[in-house]
Homo-oligomer: A and B are copies of this chain.
Amino acid sequence: MTTLAAMASTRQMTLRTVMRVLLEREAVSRAELARLTGVSKQTMSEVFRELEEGGWVRRSGRTQGAVGRSAATYEVCVDRALVFGADVGGTKVQAALADMHGIILTETVEPTDPRGGQYVVDQLARMSAELAHRASQPLERVLVGTIGIPGAYNARTGKLFMVPNITGLEGTPFVEDLRERVDFDVHVGNDVNMAAKGEQWMGEGRNVDDFVFIALGTGIGMGIINERRVLSGAHGAAGEIATLPIGADPYDGRTFRSGGLETALGSAAIRERYEGSGGRSGLTVREIIDRIGDGDTIAAATVDAIARILAQAVLAVSAVLDPERVVLGGSVGARRELLERMEVHLPLCMPSPPQCTVSKLGSRAGLYGTIANSLDLLRDSLFQTPGLDIPMPRAKPFEVHP
């Protein structure tokens, strides 16, 4: 148990407070920051000296053009700490290095190591080192990294699960394994959750406290942002809407494994529906949707049927979560034709549909989400002024007497 002195001393509190204010500004003087924070000018001078000695801030110039003595201005050294983010897919890995402002310094894409398992862990460690080197930055400055994985992570057991697309990761202590290979703090998140976080930072979820990101591609999944934070669920499986009992009978043995909604909306289902209605054989979903523009009425009817089911899924999600916005993504979900048809069906099945938009980030949403997650963790660990670590006691249930 930490004491006030040993935990974050009052001087630490002041240092972190000053850093937080500085992170939002680009050139500030000590006198101005004293006014902003209420800390005395004397103390602020000391604080800036310590921060400067630590490499966190630097002089950036002087004010001019105002009455009175000109002031020295300071800014954050945004490369004093760096973050790593990687979006691991079944076929490729996107990774990037960013500074404290979230500016991406270097990034790369390469095929996921097909051998899977520990080889993917090794690959990530090597990529982070390469990105630091290409940015001409010491690897020691990378303090936090987040990895997006197409599966679920149970924070309690520390194990990955539901990871069918990458060989040799199911049931592994992935975070622990990677932490042994790198010096920075490693976190993992579901790739659709990371995409939701990417939309929150750079996309359609910006400035929205409660929204969902639905990724429709080969299958379907959802990331949930509730009160600005990712909602993971008891076992890390929140948002696995493939199993929603919509569009197919959940008691049917044929849909039991992949789930009602995925059975109805997955790529296989779209192609079957198209071909079963007389459409051409052998087209991909993208090709089917492209044919709407060519006047293929069967393609239009297929997308309309898909949109009608998707509208019910949005209704179900809204009933449970009450999101302000639904962002659609994924190779199929991002098609505007689908959104347009869905917006026709939504008001027919729910009185007040949420706002629906299409992701503009494409396949970069997940990568952005891992960077954003790392930035949040970095800032919390470096600049938060937390309360003391003694938790608020829960109200104990009392004995109920008849």
| In the complex, per-residue mask of A218-235: 1 if CB is within 8 Å of any chain B CB, else 0 | 000010101000011111
Inter-chain CA distance A104–B395, complex, in Å, is 12
Q: Assess the A250–B312 pair: CB atoms within 8 A.
A: yes
* Interface residue from B102, B324, B349, B388 paired with A256 (Cβ < 8 Å): B349
Whole-angstrom distance between the alpha carbons of A21 and B2 in the complex?
A: 13
B20 lies within 8 A of A390 (CB): yes
Count of A interface residues, CB-CB < 8 Å: 90
| A118 shortest CB reach to chain B, Å | 28
Asked whether, in the complex, the Cβ of B393 is within 8 Å of the Cβ of A319, the reply is: no
Which of A33-41, A64-72, A296-304 faces chain B? A33-41
State how many angstroms separate the Cβ of A9 from the closest Cβ of chain B.
10
The reply to whether B201 and A395 contact each other, CB–CB distance below 8 Å, is yes
Which of B13, B354, B388 has a CB less than 8 Å from the CB of A388?
A: B13
Restricting to A267-304, which residues have a CB under 8 Å from any CB of B?
none
Contact A316 B320 (CB under 8 A): yes
Segment at the B interface, from A86-94, A123-131, A136-144, A241-249: A241-249
Q: Decide if A53 is an interface residue (CB 8 Å cutoff).
A: no
Chain A 386-402 interface mask (CB, 8 Å, partner B; 1/0): 11101111011110100
A387's partner among B102, B226, B384 (CB-CB below 8 A) is B384
Q: Check B349 against A251 for contact (C-beta < 8 Å).
A: yes
A238 CB contact (under 8 Å) in B23, B36, B322, B350: B322
A26-47 toward B: CB 8 Å interface, digit per residue (1/0)? 0000000000111100000000
- Taking CB atoms, residues of chain B closer than 8 Å to A398 are 101-104, 202
Identical copies in the complex: 2
A10 in the interface (beta carbon within 8 A)? yes
Give the docked Cα–Cα distance between A384 and B312 (Å). 43
B395 touches A101 (CB 8 A): yes
Residues of B within 8 A of A236 (CB): 322
Q: How far is the CA of A241 from the CA of B224 in the complex (A)?
A: 18
Nearest B residue to A350 by beta-carbon distance?
A: B243
Given contacts A1-B37, A387-B384, contact A233 B393 (CB under 8 A): no
A254: Cβ under 8 A from any B Cβ:
no
Q: Which residues of B contact A231 (CB under 8 A)?
A: 226, 231, 321
Q: A344-355, CB under 8 A of B: which get 1 and which 0?
A: 010011110010
Which residues on the B side are within 8 Å of A354 (C-beta)? 234
B226 touches A38 (CB 8 A): no
Can you list, as one digit per residue, whether each of A318-352 has a CB less than 8 Å from chain B (1) or not (0)?
11111110000000000000000000010011110
Complex Cα distance, B13 from A39, in Å, reads 18
A6–B13 CA distance with the chains assembled, in angstroms:
14
Q: Any chain B CB within 8 A of the CB of A237?
A: yes
Any chain B CB within 8 A of the CB of A151? no
A245 with B315: CB separation less than 8 A: yes
Of the A-B pairs whose beta carbons lie under 8 Å apart in the complex, a sample of 22, sorted by A's number, is: A1-B36, A3-B37, A4-B10, A4-B17, A17-B388, A17-B390, A24-B393, A102-B397, A103-B398, A104-B398, A201-B395, A202-B400, A233-B323, A234-B322, A244-B319, A245-B312, A245-B315, A251-B345, A251-B349, A257-B351, A376-B392, A380-B392
